[in-house]
Chain A
Amino acid sequence: MTLNRRQFIGTTAAVAATLSAPIVKAQGKPRVVVVGGGAGGATAARYLAKDSKGAIDVTLIEPTRKYYTCFFSNLYLGGFKEIEDIGHTYGGLAAGGVNVVHDWAVGVDRDAKTVSLAGGGTVPYDKLILSPGIDFVEGAVEGWGLSAQNAMPHAYKAGSQSELLKAQLMAMPAGGTFAMVAPPNPFRCPPGPYERVSMVAHFLKQNNPTAKIIVADPKPKFSKMALFQEGWANHYEGMVDWIGEEFGGGNVSVDPDAMTVTIDGEETKVDVCNVIPAMKAGRIAELAGVTDGNWAPVNAADMSTKADADIYVLGDASSQGDMPKSGFSANSQAKVCANAVRGALTGSKVFPAKFSNTCWSLIAPNDGVKVGATYEATPEKIAKVDGFISQTGESADLRKATYEESEGWYTGITTDMLG
Chain B
Amino acid sequence: MHLVQLLSAIALAAFCTTAVADEFGDPVAGEEVFRKCKSCHQLGEGAKHRIGPHLNGLFGRRAASHEDFRYSKALVRAGTGGLEWHADTLDAFLESPRRLASGTRMSFAGLKKAEDRLNLIAYLRSFSDSPANIPEADPTASPTDHDLDPAILALKGDPEYGEYLSSECTTCHQADGRNDGIPSIVLWPKEDFVLAMHAYKNKTRAHPVMQMMAGRLNAEEIAALAAYFSALEQ
Q: Is B46 an interface residue (CB 8 A)?
A: no
From residue 361 to 412 of chain A, which have CB atoms closer than 8 A to chain B? 370-374, 376-379, 381, 383-389, 404-409, 411-412
The answer on a CB contact under 8 Å between B139 and A387 is yes
Q: Is A146 an interface residue (CB 8 A)?
A: no
The answer on a CB contact under 8 Å between B16 and A321 is no
Bound-complex Cα distance A373 to B142 (A): 13
Q: Is A17 an interface residue (CB 8 A)?
A: yes
Which of these, A5, A13, A378, A406, contacts B21 with CB under 8 Å?
A378
Residues of A contacting B212 in the complex (Cβ-Cβ under 8 angstroms): 356, 372-374, 386-388
Residues of B contacting A205 in the complex (Cβ-Cβ under 8 angstroms): none
Secondary structure at the A interface, as helix, strand, loop or mixed, is mixed
Which of these, B132, B161, B176, contacts A351 with CB under 8 Å?
B161
Bound-complex Cα distance A327 to B78 (A): 40
Select from chain A the residue with minimum beta-carbon distance to B181. A408
Q: Is B231 an interface residue (CB 8 A)?
A: no
Shortest C-beta distance, B104 to chain A (Å), equals 27
Which of A54-62, A101-109, A117-125, A342-350 lines the interface with chain B? A342-350
Residues of B contacting A405 in the complex (Cβ-Cβ under 8 angstroms): 172, 181-182, 209
Which of these, A16, A22, A339, A383, contacts B5 with CB under 8 Å?
A22
Q: Is B204 an interface residue (CB 8 A)?
A: no
Q: Is B6 an interface residue (CB 8 A)?
A: yes
Q: Is B188 an interface residue (CB 8 A)?
A: no
Select from chain A the residue with minimum beta-carbon distance to B22. A378
The answer on a CB contact under 8 Å between A389 and B15 is no
Residues of A contacting B163 in the complex (Cβ-Cβ under 8 angstroms): 51
The answer on a CB contact under 8 Å between B21 and A376 is yes
From residue 168 to 191 of chain B, which have CB atoms closer than 8 A to chain A? 168, 170-176, 178, 180-182
Q: Is A308 an interface residue (CB 8 A)?
A: no
Bound-complex Cα distance A347 to B137 (A): 38
Residues of A contacting B211 in the complex (Cβ-Cβ under 8 angstroms): 388
Bound-complex Cα distance A387 to B208 (A): 8
Q: Is B196 an interface residue (CB 8 A)?
A: no
Q: What does the 1/0 interface line of A157-183 toward B look like (CB < 8 Å)?
A: 000000000000000000000000000
Q: Is B44 an interface residue (CB 8 A)?
A: no
- Known contacts A352-B19, A408-B180; is-contact A339 B164 (Cβ 8 Å): yes
Bound-complex Cα distance A18 to B1 (A): 9
Which of A132-140, A220-228, A268-276 lines the interface with chain B? A220-228
Bound-complex Cα distance A349 to B4 (A): 9
Bound-complex Cα distance A410 to B117 (A): 43
- Known contacts A21-B5, A352-B19, A372-B208; is-contact A386 B172 (Cβ 8 Å): no
Q: Is A322 an interface residue (CB 8 A)?
A: yes
Which of these, A350, A385, A404, contacts B142 with CB under 8 Å?
A385
Residues of B contacting A356 in the complex (Cβ-Cβ under 8 angstroms): 168, 171, 212-213
Residues of B contacting A324 in the complex (Cβ-Cβ under 8 angstroms): 131-133, 135
Which of these, B136, B143, B172, B178, contacts A371 with CB under 8 Å?
B136
Shortest C-beta distance, A44 to chain B (Å), equals 11
Bound-complex Cα distance A264 to B12 (A): 55
Bound-complex Cα distance A38 to B17 (A): 32
Shortest C-beta distance, B148 to chain A (Å), equals 12
Residues of B contacting A347 in the complex (Cβ-Cβ under 8 angstroms): 2, 4-5, 8
Task: Return the 3 tightest CB-CB contacts between A and B, nearest first.
Answer: A408-B181, A408-B182, A383-B141
Which A residues have a C-beta under 8 Å from some C-beta of B? 5-7, 9-10, 13-14, 16-18, 20-22, 47, 51, 185-186, 190-191, 221-224, 301, 321-325, 328, 331-332, 335, 339, 343, 347-354, 356-359, 370-374, 376-379, 381, 383-389, 404-409, 411-413, 415-416
18 new A-B contacts at CB < 8 Å, known A6-B22, A10-B16, A374-B213: A6-B17, A14-B13, A17-B12, A186-B130, A190-B135, A224-B136, A324-B132, A324-B135, A347-B8, A352-B19, A354-B165, A358-B209, A373-B136, A376-B144, A385-B216, A386-B143, A388-B209, A409-B171
